[in-house]
Structure 1
């Protein structure tokens, strides 16, 4: 009998992926039962593809070939396949040996009809991640010289590839350790694929409304009429079996019994059927080659939603919804939504998780006359998310600003990464009520403008899309109403802006106001003109003429118009119905401009001992011993000042002599750690006599059971706390604050989601309210801020590299004029949770260690049985 351990199906390698043209595929490990799928796959391969893979023409696979390809241990020999629907369309292998377990030969084979869709690149990413998980660190591949497409897959992956030629073939060798370049290449491909998938949804050539009822009260009938009224330039097909059976029509358009009966290919299907019919409709759409679905049906069943998305993705479709209000693309005349009115085409892209908030967004846009580029209501967000829309909007030439309503961030780390990148090109405004401290931290670091209401979002968007960014926080308030000028100036001052009041005589002419605005522009970064509504125009003819004349000013100009109910544009200038609204919009835009002007920063790439660090916590749970915690920190260049446990006055004096005077004696037990108010320490002891006296004093106070340590005194400085944690929602993050009860009481802590750049570290240190104590407050000597920032960067990198470190606290850390000294460390280890936005491209992660039968694409009931009973 074989003594080899049974193969456990690595379900964590499963993933749904988006291909370069916006379609989808499912990646999974190969199974012994995949033989029939492989044989069918082989029949669809061209002679050239077979020759490129095997360097010879092979007419068929033998049983031995099938067995070797499908029966692997996923250790020395591994394989993953790509599925589209029930078809196996690509396979990739690695093969290593017991003698050289860190090196592997790799090979790829992609069905001819699927070539050019990016499957080779996706398989390489996932195969490298799986092999890395098994300890493999280098790939070698032999490729025929004429197989340039496969050679490009390897060369374009971002790895450093060496090439050697022999007899018409090229041998490619490269380390598969993720690098900044390889991750950048992967994310660039992810960006283009996800953007393409959303572009296909928003620019369909033909649409079907499935469930288009004849009754005007039905949702499907309404959506059909909205599509027709919107002016969509393409065919729209109502799908209604009952109407089709009677040879009838819906809204005067011929009805069809099913999506497969429609006479031409359909790109987008709007699904408005009862929940029980959704699975059959999705399957039919997959067979018909539909690109994407907008599911208005509210299934109110998480399992049913997951099954819907799994079926759709398996067939290459993206899904908006379920429980979506629909989508709109005004420029294309596309109103595939339940909302009858579509805003004009404009420059603002909108996304909403909530249906009611989506309605509020469209109502606000209509009331202000603001045009939209696109609108997407995500509903239950089973598939298409806000992150997908960010990928699309980043390079969409029709969108200048983004408004998003979010109830959750979904994948916060990916959201922060994308929003930060998109925000460098166009502003992102997020309506997110009830935000936590960490939510606000995420928005700030990503450059996102956070607001509480839809009206505030449009206030900001109006300013951003009509005016330049302000260079600073100076604002001049200009007007001829003393009360209105002062009210606006007070609001601006309370918002942290630097204010100049310019009060004109009552009854000033348009020229006076124009000259005042122009003059004030030389001393300010933004102007607010305060106006009073006078008929017949919204702000009186004098004000309109004056503001219009000021439109050539090269800094932002806003108008606070008393008496106007709904803000909008006034002669091309954003106008607000109250001073407070105008100031709030300007304050948020100033904050965005300051973020935009800051350099992006870099993540340090200095050499660390990450593998050694991971080995120190492998398999451990709970608080680490202090020596192991110190060794872990040493892997990242962080030194902890040793604390020597002593059991007598003599031992204390010996330890003090070894460490060097002055020293401290400290009680090392939970009640006294980080609690100077309990007096469990004696500091700055200059000699042996002082150590003996301190020992006697501590023992008298503490008793004989409390352990005592000797530690060398740190230089005089400011005591701070540096930490990291593995947050259940946000993943790894770092925190910073000053030590002490007052800081704890006021919760004066700053947090940052990883990764942390040098610019982020500098901002993090200065973002706590007590930061002036580090910078020379009231004449004190400034401390070594650069060394503190370097410590934060090291701890951030440790937290990012070692997910088994679920909690880390350095307290206290003494920051002095020339260094930082870490006096105490506490590290808690635990099982590592899957990291969002880490590893190869995917938009689905298994929730369980082994999949059920429905999870495995293209298999049979035997698949699930084999997996759950361990593979032979």
Structure 2
């Protein structure tokens, strides 16, 4: 739905509370008391059908029609059956936003039989009012004195936004945060989330300058594509930390049918949040611990940790926790060891963790930190202290704070205990150093920082290109569409093998036989051990394993080296087939040479489709001896090599491959390429519902697919992350030079050429584009330019073959950023200096204008320096309105693309134009 009218929700100039009375247990009365107690500065009104003149001193009227003005926000606290009609009346009266606090609407039903909460949604859409809830605790904006909740206490002002789903959990969060001194910019819960949802609020909070971090508590995500698009934008600029409850089927509040090959939905949420750059934590305690480190520590230069304490025990506990979470200890340099040896007793361990001894003084803590600050291998230090009779905890804390100043170290502390260390912990809080009560919590919080930085890297990594994005794959598409026209919902084994072979995946040579006689003939030709598989209808479907991970029945017998063995094996396979699958059509036998592969390393890779989240790429173990379900890991397409390697790294089979492969790096690359290719297959052919390669084997020559199965659906499945829009590619011929140029959306693989393009521009062109001189563009700068979310941004680049024949070069680029409501896009364009007067700028701009107009965007805007005459002439040629902006000292450009249809659109555009 976007951010329409959310400003009226978060910063209302007037509020009406519907259903408030002075009864102690009245919900509306509680909300009204909180509004008054919080010091809300705007105009207040009450609607109550009883004949009150005022409620708690606030004027009261009997009906919405008698309000006399249109409040910006309504808070509805009336019985469930009255709420849909009340929402409709408020919308008709000009109220823009409503908070529906009434609960039980998911269980109460309307006359049509649907839950009343859907009637609220329908009424809101009819009259154009935005609704938070039903069944929400409400909203707090502490800095504006707004406490529109029934919570038992208010929140203190701060820079953290909390968006929850459960009111009872939110109440505990307020208590918890107050005790930790955590303040909020916004605090609210969605309740049933019938209109305003996570993605709408994240879009708003991503642009809010008063919010430095976003905390999410989620039970479900009804619109994953919108959520993913919104949170990827937000997490690029501020930490987003999430708790997702309902991790097991027994605790899911909104269970849905699982895709083939999965037994739980929680790994899907894991994959989605990781791909979005969100740090997922296991509970509210971890949420606030993570908040401590993410907002109070610098970005990590290294992921290793140095530990010091006034005793062995705390250090050992910290190391145990670090190892359990997959962290690593920093290796101290010899210089540091010798320097510490001059400070510590002769019996110290000479390694990390560092035992300072029980009588460590403030001076010793400070000197040890100074030594480590000079060590290039040390970037992060956990400083711990256990209370003792000999030293004062506050003095040691002060020494640590002073020693850290001026260093590049990330230091966080653990002052063990409670009653005697609180003053010291306050000292750390004032100094901005995270502090924890136990070694386990401290190390867990540090590793959350590590995990967050890792998922952030996945947003900006430049992938390694190995596939041809523009190759012709018509054979595979023809096989799939032909099967669907024949009303088949799966491909035959031969067809499935042809599909992946068409995409370059190696397969074992297979001979298909109708009966035993043909199998014997095939063996006579091979004259070497073979594997024989009986193929039938059920065998052609992917993910046929039981929950145990073992196959239902024997389908393949391996290493047959005589005619007698083949005859006996075919008989056994036929008996198994007739016993277990008598109704599954017989398709014959498949004969393959027995494949000599690295023992024990068998992968199952493929595609499955979730009814909510769309296509998913899966990777894990194959084989009858292990539980393939347990090892199965998930990622969201589209994938690149970096994302594919990350998916592979999470599997148990990855460790076996690294330890046992003849060529581990080559085989890791081969699996990663296969995963990227599968991702491309399901994007190119969205009618593929499921695809499994099992097993994918390895020998000294690389990877090879043995068995393949593909399911189909006449309803295409779309990834929740917008893939590369190939249909937007266009070839043009430049009129002056006659050079052929492709204008297409940017790919992450364009990063090297994009960096060269910027580095070759003249200082003047750089100043015109970035409004300042820039001599250097880092890899991260350029990666962000090419790693885009096609739902929110678009970048068209003009590429052509280099004149020396060595690959492609980028000749020009145009970019737009579109707001969450698709009202306005902001553009920027730059053409290579050597391509001036070739008409390339016009071609790029016209391409982008046509794209944004077709997308329904209402306006295109931009800023141009007053002396940038070429761009101003181009804008005038394209029909832009041009006005000088004296406040910013730039020329404002505006082009109407589509006329707004709704009043709120016209109002928003008019307000932002002035």
CA–CA distance in structure 2, aligned partners of residues 735 and 651 of structure 1: 36
Counterpart for residue 562 of structure 1: 416
| Segment drifting more, 428-437 vs 312-321 | 428-437
Name which of 651, 661, 671 aligns with 1:768.
651
Counterpart for residue 286 of structure 1: 91
Counterpart for residue 321 of structure 2: 491
> Which structure 2 segments of 5+ residues have no match?
109-113, 248-265, 330-351, 545-549, 578-587, 723-790, 793-819, 822-914
Query: Could you say if the C-alpha distance between residues 533 and 399 of structure 1 is closer, same or farther in structure 2, counting changes exceeding 3 Å?
Result: farther
Q: Is the 8 A contact 1:471 1:593 kept in 2?
A: no
Counterpart for residue 268 of structure 1: 73
Displacement of 1:661: 7.4
Counterpart for residue 424 of structure 1: 236
RMSD of Structure 2 on Structure 1 (CA): 3.6
CA–CA distance in structure 2, aligned partners of residues 334 and 364 of structure 1: 20
Query: Could you say if the C-alpha distance between residues 629 and 485 of structure 1 is closer, same or farther in structure 2, counting changes exceeding 3 Å?
Result: closer
Displacement of 1:455: 1.6
Q: Is the 8 A contact 2:100 2:133 kept in 1?
A: yes
Counterpart for residue 191 of structure 2: 379
Name which of 676, 681, 700 aligns with 2:557.
681
Correspondence 1:627 to 2:491 = no
Correspondence 1:255 to 2:60 = yes
CA–CA distance in structure 1, aligned partners of residues 573 and 93 of structure 2: 79
Query: Could you say if the C-alpha distance between residues 318 and 702 of structure 1 is closer, same or farther in structure 2, counting changes exceeding 3 Å?
Result: closer
Alignment of 1:377-416 (within 5 A): 377-416=189-228
Alignment of 1:152-301 (within 5 A): 194-243=2-51, 246=52, 248-298=53-103, 299-300=105-106, 301=108
Name which of 713, 730, 753 aligns with 2:636.
753
Correspondence 1:306 to 2:118 = yes
Displacement of 1:326: 0.2
1:335-355 Cα offsets, whole Å, 9 max, x none, are 111125322221211011111
Q: Is the 8 A contact 1:269 1:292 kept in 2?
A: yes
Correspondence 1:458 to 2:297 = no
| Segment drifting more, 520-529 vs 343-352 | 520-529
Query: Could you say if the C-alpha distance between residues 806 and 703 of structure 1 is closer, same or farther in structure 2, counting changes exceeding 3 Å?
Result: closer
Displacement of 1:771: 0.9
Query: Could you say if the C-alpha distance between residues 828 and 251 of structure 1 is closer, same or farther in structure 2, counting changes exceeding 3 Å?
Result: same
Displacement of 1:735: 0.9
Counterpart for residue 298 of structure 2: 468
Name which of 678, 687, 697 aligns with 1:795.
678
CA–CA distance in structure 1, aligned partners of residues 36 and 120 of structure 2: 28
1:695-729 Cα offsets, whole Å, 9 max, x none, are 34535765799743323565745532212111234
Q: Is the 8 A contact 1:429 1:457 kept in 2?
A: yes
CA–CA distance in structure 2, aligned partners of residues 257 and 617 of structure 1: 65
1:761-801 Cα offsets, whole Å, 9 max, x none, are 12112221121333353766654333322221222233345
Name which of 556, 562, 566 aligns with 1:695.
566
Counterpart for residue 827 of structure 1: 710
Displacement of 1:373: 1.4
Displacement of 1:312: 0.9
| Greater RCO, 1 or 2 (C-alpha within 8 Å, sep 6+) | 1
Counterpart for residue 510 of structure 2: 643
Query: Could you say if the C-alpha distance between residues 721 and 513 of structure 1 is closer, same or farther in structure 2, counting changes exceeding 3 Å?
Result: same
Q: Is the 8 A contact 1:533 1:564 kept in 2?
A: no
Q: Is the 8 A contact 1:478 1:517 kept in 2?
A: no
Query: Could you say if the C-alpha distance between residues 635 and 656 of structure 1 is closer, same or farther in structure 2, counting changes exceeding 3 Å?
Result: same
Q: Is the 8 A contact 1:207 1:237 kept in 2?
A: yes
Query: Could you say if the C-alpha distance between residues 532 and 822 of structure 1 is closer, same or farther in structure 2, counting changes exceeding 3 Å?
Result: closer
Counterpart for residue 316 of structure 1: 128
Counterpart for residue 150 of structure 2: 338
Alignment of 1:53-72 (within 5 A): none
Alignment of 1:576-615 (within 5 A): 576-598=436-458, 599-601=460-462, 605-607=469-471, 608-609=473-474, 612=478, 615=481
| Segment drifting more, 441-450 vs 325-334 | 441-450
CA–CA distance in structure 1, aligned partners of residues 503 and 94 of structure 2: 52
Correspondence 1:508 to 2:360 = yes
CA–CA distance in structure 1, aligned partners of residues 196 and 388 of structure 2: 47
CA–CA distance in structure 1, aligned partners of residues 194 and 719 of structure 2: 17
Q: The residue matched to 2:631 in structure 1 has which SS?
A: coil
Displacement of 1:460: 0.8
Displacement of 1:585: 0.9
1:239-280 Cα offsets, whole Å, 9 max, x none, are 22424xx5x112212223334433443221111111222122
Q: Is the 8 A contact 1:208 1:259 kept in 2?
A: no
Q: Is the 8 A contact 1:477 1:502 kept in 2?
A: yes
Query: Could you say if the C-alpha distance between residues 218 and 663 of structure 1 is closer, same or farther in structure 2, counting changes exceeding 3 Å?
Result: same
CA–CA distance in structure 2, aligned partners of residues 534 and 226 of structure 1: 46
Q: The residue matched to 1:747 in structure 2 has which SS?
A: helix
Counterpart for residue 909 of structure 2: none
Q: Is the 8 A contact 2:229 2:721 kept in 1?
A: no
Counterpart for residue 358 of structure 1: 170
Q: Is the 8 A contact 2:520 2:566 kept in 1?
A: no
CA–CA distance in structure 2, aligned partners of residues 704 and 498 of structure 1: 54
Displacement of 1:282: 0.8
Q: Is the 8 A contact 2:100 2:136 kept in 1?
A: yes
Q: Is the 8 A contact 1:207 1:236 kept in 2?
A: yes
TM-score by length of 2: 0.64
CA–CA distance in structure 2, aligned partners of residues 491 and 716 of structure 1: 38
Q: The residue matched to 1:363 in structure 2 has which SS?
A: helix
Correspondence 1:572 to 2:432 = yes
Query: Could you say if the C-alpha distance between residues 355 and 668 of structure 1 is closer, same or farther in structure 2, counting changes exceeding 3 Å?
Result: same
**Aligned residues between the structures:** 642
Query: Could you say if the C-alpha distance between residues 828 and 342 of structure 1 is closer, same or farther in structure 2, counting changes exceeding 3 Å?
Result: same
Counterpart for residue 171 of structure 1: none
CA–CA distance in structure 1, aligned partners of residues 63 and 455 of structure 2: 52
Counterpart for residue 730 of structure 1: 613
Query: Could you say if the C-alpha distance between residues 703 and 592 of structure 1 is closer, same or farther in structure 2, counting changes exceeding 3 Å?
Result: closer
Query: Could you say if the C-alpha distance between residues 590 and 308 of structure 1 is closer, same or farther in structure 2, counting changes exceeding 3 Å?
Result: same
Q: Is the 8 A contact 2:619 2:648 kept in 1?
A: yes
Counterpart for residue 550 of structure 1: 404
Counterpart for residue 525 of structure 1: 379
Alignment of 1:43-54 (within 5 A): none
Query: Could you say if the C-alpha distance between residues 331 and 582 of structure 1 is closer, same or farther in structure 2, counting changes exceeding 3 Å?
Result: same
CA–CA distance in structure 1, aligned partners of residues 719 and 386 of structure 2: 52
Q: Is the 8 A contact 2:637 2:719 kept in 1?
A: no
Query: Could you say if the C-alpha distance between residues 223 and 505 of structure 1 is closer, same or farther in structure 2, counting changes exceeding 3 Å?
Result: same
CA–CA distance in structure 2, aligned partners of residues 837 and 462 of structure 1: 31
CA–CA distance in structure 1, aligned partners of residues 528 and 227 of structure 2: 50
1:645-670 Cα offsets, whole Å, 9 max, x none, are 33577744654688x77672413147
CA–CA distance in structure 2, aligned partners of residues 492 and 705 of structure 1: 50
Query: Could you say if the C-alpha distance between residues 353 and 677 of structure 1 is closer, same or farther in structure 2, counting changes exceeding 3 Å?
Result: closer
Q: Is the 8 A contact 1:532 1:540 kept in 2?
A: no
Q: Is the 8 A contact 1:196 1:392 kept in 2?
A: no
Counterpart for residue 691 of structure 2: 808
Name which of 587, 590, 593 aligns with 1:709.
590
Alignment of 1:81-120 (within 5 A): none
Q: Is the 8 A contact 2:31 2:150 kept in 1?
A: yes
Q: Is the 8 A contact 1:775 1:781 kept in 2?
A: yes
Query: Could you say if the C-alpha distance between residues 676 and 836 of structure 1 is closer, same or farther in structure 2, counting changes exceeding 3 Å?
Result: closer
Displacement of 1:622: 4.2
Query: Could you say if the C-alpha distance between residues 743 and 538 of structure 1 is closer, same or farther in structure 2, counting changes exceeding 3 Å?
Result: farther
> Which structure 1 segments of 5+ residues have no match?
1-17, 19-193, 844-872
CA–CA distance in structure 2, aligned partners of residues 560 and 752 of structure 1: 36
